[in-house]
Amino acid sequence: MIVGNKKNMGATLRRLIAYILKEYKWQCLLVALCILVSTVANIGGTLFMRNLIDDYILPFVNQTQPDLYPLFKALLVMAAVYYVGVFCTWAYNYIMIYVSQGMLKKVRDDLFRHMEHLPIRYFDTKSHGDIMSIYTNDTDTLRQVISQSMPQMLSAVITIVGVFVSMLVLSRPLTLITVVMVVCMVFATRNISSKSGHYFVKQQTDVGSLNGYIEEMMEGQKVVKVFCHEKACIQDFKTLNGKLRDSTNNANRYASILMPVLGNLGYVSYAVIAMVGACLSIFGGQMTLGTLASFLQFSRSFNQPISQLSQQLNSIIMAIAGAERIFGLLDEEPEKDGGYVKLVNAHYDEKGNLTEVPDRTGMWAWKHYHKADNTTTYQPMQGDVVFDHVDFGYTEDKEILHDIEIFARPGQKVAFVGATGAGKTTITNLINRFYDVQDGKIRYDGININKIRKDDLRHSLGLVLQDTHLFTGTVMDNIRYGKLDAAEAEVIQAAKLANAHEFIMKLPDGYQTELKGSGNSLSQGQRQLLAIARVAVADPPVLILDEATSSIDTRTEKIVQEGMDRLMKGRTVFVIAHRLSTIKNSDVIMVLDHGRIVERGDHDSLLAKRGMYYQLYTGKLEQE
């Protein structure tokens, strides 16, 4: 957590308030009104108590037949004022629940919505724990501030203004003393809260590093057990834990001395006012005893909201830091999509022209709108992919791929082999535009992929990764991920194609088995089968298989391979595999080394070359 400079903090706070007001303008207005009424009722109560004795009691003392009717009436009026105040307190608390919880939902939803549209680069460069903590820690800080701090601040400000005006009316010199004391208090607050703020930041960093340690160790906890390494881990943990304790201790210490300091400075100011006031009334004579007494009363009610404000200060500082991180994510540039070429369902009409149809035909076409002459052309989607002198690096200064040229004709199987870091996965990252090329062009059916709408481009590409990510939900839901409106029969068909049907039927609830925690209850091989079924149901013309079968045992692989062969039929396929058996029958094999294609050809010709492929094939080189 980074607390920026003051100017930034102010800007963040303004932005946060604007964000809330945009959603809940009327509610906030109503809340402000309720707070006003409830605060005024409270001040009114204080004033009433002073008048009670003078106006309603003293006149009747020692009367035998006292007229208590005026007192009764006054009490009734006060009761009305008080209970309206109580009602308003309840009302604003009640409305604030909806505002604060609604805001938290909105913040979470906005964060998630925005995150879903961020480029892959964001996820590759940010630590996942860090992203998570925006949703948990940072959003939580907002809850307290919206539901408590903000209303309290408002009520405190109203009280301060009201009391200050009353004080000015009563005595200007004494008000000056109060102001001086308030300046002292503000000074003390700034001093103390900047110290506690410093330690709160430190606490947050320490929490972060402890968090990181726990996460790493918990993931490897089974390894820790197997190596009986528990003692050493406890020792490491102790160090980090102690550090966190120190910063927490300091942060809380400064935060919690703020209240007594301010409260007692208030008493000091009371004493000073009493002394100066006594001087004024004794020597100056321009002040009555009653005025002084009321003034002292007010100086007390002046201090209370100030210490209330100071108490909220820390949660506000924390919340601003949280809000800064939240806005940081919301300000991340989303994935840009300048594409306009769409993918549509198509068929050939009687005349043999390709035309667009609303229903799924199993045939797809690129709908290409030409701005220049205002015409639309259709072009069948075939799966022809060309890399034309492509250069790429994840950062500007480090080029990963150099001058890559690939021609994949529709229906061809293109394989990439090479050592770790040779750039195999990077190439597939470029085809579906997870990253954009730096130089050169990638053409899909002759169209520059930058011109194709990203969603449509990705719809046409099926991706199976080495680490299968399954989602919480049933097996059926997970396969249906490929095509949300797939009928049950389609899903089962796809599962059969991927040879996943058999094991699914053995699960306790078959297709309705709930998967939790990204499908941890399934073996890697089973998860991989589901991932393949998921792509099968999506039925894309181009497949990208990144180490898709590497974690399946060979016996299962044979089963998967059958399904995969069926799936690959008639599609353009890009395969990355370390099992050379998987790629042996590819049409073209590209051997990559340090971001360059060093050999290309089919299996037999490459073997005959006795080059790098031969070395890999004979097990002389290690892959991933």
Partner 1 sequence: MFKTLVKYIGEFKRDAVLTPVLVVMEVIMEVIIPIIMAVIIDYGLESRSLGKVVLIGLAMIVAAMLALWFGVESGRTASSASSGFAMNLRQEMYEKIQTFSFSNIDKFSTAGLVTRMTTDVMNVQQAFQMSIRICVRAPIMLVSAMVMTFMIHPRFAHIFLVVIVCLGAVLALISSKANPTLRKVFHQYDELNAKVQENVNGIRVVKSFVREDHEIGRFETESEKIRSLFVNAEKLIALNSPVMQFSMYSCILLISWMGAKMIIAGSLTEGQLMSMFTYVINILISLMMVSMTFVMLIMSRASGERISEVLMEEPDLFNVSHAVREVADGSIDFEQVGFAYPSNPGKEVISDLDLHIRPGETIGVLGGTGSAKSSFAALIPRLYDVTRGEVRVGGVPVKDYDMASLRDSVAVVLQKNVLFSGTIRENLRWGKEDATDDEIINVCRLAQADEFIRDFPEGYDTHIERGGTNVSGGQKQRLCIARALLKKPKILILDDSTSAVDTKTDALIRRAFREKIPDTTKIIIAQKISSIQDADRILVFDNGRMKSVGTHEELLESSPIYREIYESQTKEGGDDDSRE
Contact call for residue 60 and partner 1 (CB under 8 A): yes
Buried b (16+ CB within 10 A) or exposed e, 539-564: bbbbbbbbbbbbbbeeebbebbbebb
Contact call for residue 71 and partner 1 (CB under 8 A): yes
Contact call for residue 29 and partner 1 (CB under 8 A): no
Contact call for residue 221 and partner 1 (CB under 8 A): yes
Distance of closest approach, residue 101 Cβ to partner 1, in angstroms: 5
Contact with partner 1 (CB under 8 A): which of 32, 52, 170, 598?
52
Contact with partner 1 (CB under 8 A): which of 7, 128, 370, 398?
128
Closer Cβ to partner 1, 98 or 369, answer by number:
98
Neighbours of 402 (CB within 10 A): 16
Cα 440 from chain centre:
35
Please, which of residues 307-346 interact with partner 1 by CB under 8 A? none
Please, which of residues 356-385 interact with partner 1 by CB under 8 A? none
Spatial distance between the Cα atoms of 161 and 155, rounded to a whole number of angstroms = 10
Distance of closest approach, residue 296 Cβ to partner 1, in angstroms: 7
Helices 69-116 and 6-51: crossing angle in degrees, nearest 10, is: 160
Contact call for residue 461 and partner 1 (CB under 8 A): yes
Contact with partner 1 (CB under 8 A): which of 11, 32, 170, 233?
233
Neighbours of 86 (CB within 10 A): 12
- Cβ burial, residue 319 (10 Å; 0-12/13-18/19+): buried
3-state secondary structure 484-517: CCCCHHHHHHHHHHCCCHHHHHHCCCHHHCEECC
Please, which of residues 260-299 interact with partner 1 by CB under 8 A? 260-261, 263-265, 267-268, 270-272, 274-275, 277-279, 281-283, 289, 292-293, 296
Contact call for residue 211 and partner 1 (CB under 8 A): yes
Q: Are 60 and 74 in contact, with CB atoms under 8 Å apart?
A: no
Beta-strand relationship, 375-380 and 364-370: antiparallel
Contact call for residue 225 and partner 1 (CB under 8 A): yes
- Cβ burial, residue 360 (10 Å; 0-12/13-18/19+): exposed
Spatial distance between the Cα atoms of 186 and 269, rounded to a whole number of angstroms = 14
Contact call for residue 80 and partner 1 (CB under 8 A): no
Query: What residue has token string 């991180």?
Result: 325
Distance of closest approach, residue 309 Cβ to partner 1, in angstroms: 17
Distance of closest approach, residue 439 Cβ to partner 1, in angstroms: 24
Distance of closest approach, residue 5 Cβ to partner 1, in angstroms: 27
At 183, which helix (H) or strand (E)? Answer: helix 172-219
Spatial distance between the Cα atoms of 266 and 515, rounded to a whole number of angstroms = 60
Sketch the per residue contact string, 493 through 532, with partner 1: x for CB under 8 A, - otherwise. Answer: ----------x-------------xx----xxxx------
Contact with partner 1 (CB under 8 A): which of 73, 229, 360, 610?
229
Distance of closest approach, residue 228 Cβ to partner 1, in angstroms: 5
State whether residue 543 is helix, strand or coil. strand
Distance of closest approach, residue 498 Cβ to partner 1, in angstroms: 14
Closer Cβ to partner 1, 387 or 503, answer by number:
503
Spatial distance between the Cα atoms of 606 and 591, rounded to a whole number of angstroms = 9
CA dihedral 427, 431, 434, 436 (to 10 degrees): 80
Total number of residues binding partner 1 (CB under 8 A)? 164
Please, which of residues 186-205 interact with partner 1 by CB under 8 A? none
At 458, which helix (H) or strand (E)? Answer: helix 454-459
Distance of closest approach, residue 205 Cβ to partner 1, in angstroms: 13
Contact with partner 1 (CB under 8 A): which of 176, 180, 259, 608?
259
Neighbours of 283 (CB within 10 A): 8
Closer Cβ to partner 1, 166 or 428, answer by number:
428
Closer Cβ to partner 1, 327 or 347, answer by number:
327
Contact with partner 1 (CB under 8 A): which of 19, 56, 200, 298?
56
Spatial distance between the Cα atoms of 514 and 561, rounded to a whole number of angstroms = 27
Distance of closest approach, residue 157 Cβ to partner 1, in angstroms: 18
Sketch the per residue contact string, 147 through 186, with partner 1: x for CB under 8 A, - otherwise. Answer: x---------------------------------------
Closer Cβ to partner 1, 102 or 403, answer by number:
102
Please, which of residues 94-123 interact with partner 1 by CB under 8 A? 94, 96-98, 101-102, 104-105, 108-109, 112-113, 115-117, 120, 123
Closer Cβ to partner 1, 218 or 349, answer by number:
218
Spatial neighbors of 13 by CB under 8 A, at least 6 apart, are: 316, 320, 323
Spatial distance between the Cα atoms of 446 and 466, rounded to a whole number of angstroms = 30
Please, which of residues 525-564 interact with partner 1 by CB under 8 A? 525-526, 534, 538, 550-558, 561
